Every structure is written in structure tokens, then in C-alpha cells.
Amino acid sequence: MKTIRIAPSILSADFGRLAEEVRAVEAGGADLVHVDVMDGRFVPNLTIGPVVVKAVRAATQLPVDVHLMIAEPERYVESFREAGADLISVHAEACLHLHRAVEQIRASGARASVAVNPATPLSAIEWVLDDLSMVLLMTVNPGFGGQRYIPQVTRKIAALRALLDRRGLDVDLEVDGGVHPATIGAAAAAGANVFVAGSAVFEAPDYRAAIRALRAGAEE
């Protein structure tokens, strides 16, 4: 059983007080800080770029987990790495040459991850698994915080963990979208070990208690 890690998504933070919000989740027991980058093309929403990643990097000692929901992510890998990303996820659906994109992330010095949308089959990442630190399974359709966990993905989590075990690969399995104390247990039982939570943390009155509740839900 891999260690449970909680990654609050700053998408639901107060951007007017971003550094303070990042410090608050670090003090509250977060393990990573998740940053959602959206371009208005790959997903129907616009968020932030490398300058904000740089501000997050300056505010925390925690690893910065950058989730690129952008078309042609290869164009920006180095910029996000230079801004301070420790881990970079590109979407399988956004890369024409996924293996090349993964190599590019590794060459930048960041840890490489591939994200897959709920409807994308695991076969899309099967042949790059050996080169990854992490796989990010979307448990909502990407674009917005506060959506509902799609229960069918739980079986996909289990299938991916079984595939990784069969291949003897020590790869983190992150889930993102609709993760709350009520949904996290099923994802953890299926084999996820890194949990992104936006609204479940930043909309709670007490971040430490929210993170503790998520961890308890995952460890049940």
C-alpha cells in the first residue's frame, strides 16, 4: 500500500491572497500543491500561466504539481519547469506524440505524469508507463472545480493499479475531480494514492480539518 498524499488544488483558493492560501494548506498538512492550468481550448475555461506557478513556488516548500489542461502542452513544458514545477502532467488527448512529450518533461528535470480524461481508455498510456512517475486519472471532465466524482472511473483506477502491479511499476496514481471525504475511500481502495481536492479543502472553514478528513477517508 503506497503512502496517501493530499494535493489541494489552488483553483478553488482566493487568488487575491494566493501566497497566504498556499501557506495555509502547507501548514494544514498538505503533501503537494496542485496547480490547474487551462487554456480555453483544451478545456472551456481559462486560468493561469507560469507567472502564477512562480508565485506558488516562492510561497511553499511542498512539491508543485502542475496539471496542464492545454492544447500542444509541449510548447510550454520548459516554461513551467523554469517557473518551479516539480511534477508536470500533460493530457494524453492533447499530445500528438505523447512519448516525445514525456521525454521532454523528463529532460527538463521535472517528474513526468500523463493525465487521462474519464472517457479515454487506459491503452492510450500503456506504452509510456515505464517512463512515468505518476498517472493522473480524471474523475470529472476537466475544466471546472466543484463537479461530481464520476463513479465509473473507480473501476478504471482498479484496472490501472492492477496493470502497474502486473508490470512491476512503482508509479503514483493521482485522481482529480470531485474528491471529498465521501468519495475518496472508493478511489483509495481501488488503488489511487495521490488525491487532488479543490473545493473540499478551500471551501472548508478549517483547511487542516478538511485535509485530515480526506486522509481519514482514504485510510479507512
Tell me how long the chain is.
220
Residues 49-108, interacting with ligand DX5 (CB under 6 A)? 67
How far is residue 132's CA from residue 128's CA, in Å, rounded to a whole number? 7
Shortest distance (Å) from residue 139 CB to ligand DX5:
8
Shortest distance (Å) from residue 3 CB to ligand DX5:
20
Part in contact with ligand DX5 (CB under 6 A); list of ranges 16-24, 74-82, 190-198, 204-212: 190-198
State the maximum Cα–Cα separation within the chain, in Å, rounded to a whole number.
46
Backbone angles phi, psi at 184, to 5 degrees: -65, -30
- Which distant-in-sequence residues (6+ apart) come within 8 Å of 95 by Cβ? 73, 74, 101
Q: Does 213 help bind ligand DX5 (rule: CB under 6 A)?
A: no
Part in contact with ligand DX5 (CB under 6 A); list of ranges 9-17, 18-26, 80-88, 153-161: 9-17
Strand, coil or helix: what is 37?
Answer: strand
Residues 148-177, interacting with Zn ion (CB under 5 A)? 176
Q: Which of 31, 36, 65, 172 does the annotation list as catalytic?
A: 36
Are the CB atoms for 155 and 161 separated by under 8 Å? no
How far is residue 186's CA from residue 101's CA, in Å, rounded to a whole number? 31
Q: Does 176 help bind ligand DX5 (rule: CB under 6 A)?
A: yes
Q: Is 176 a catalytic residue?
A: yes
Shortest distance (Å) from residue 166 CB to Zn ion:
27
Shortest distance (Å) from residue 202 CB to ligand DX5:
8
For 210, the grid coordinates are 478538511
How far is residue 156's CA from residue 174's CA, in Å, rounded to a whole number? 12
Part in contact with ligand DX5 (CB under 6 A); list of ranges 4-12, 58-66, 70-78, 182-190: 4-12
For ligand DX5, give the closer residue by CB, 44 or 109. Answer: 44
Taking the C-alpha atoms of 12, 16, 20 and 24 in order, what is their torsion angle to the nearest 10 degrees? Answer: -20
Residues in the site for Zn ion, rule: CB under 5 A? 36, 67, 176
Residues in the site for ligand DX5, rule: CB under 6 A? 9, 11-12, 34, 36, 67, 140, 142-147, 176-179, 196-200
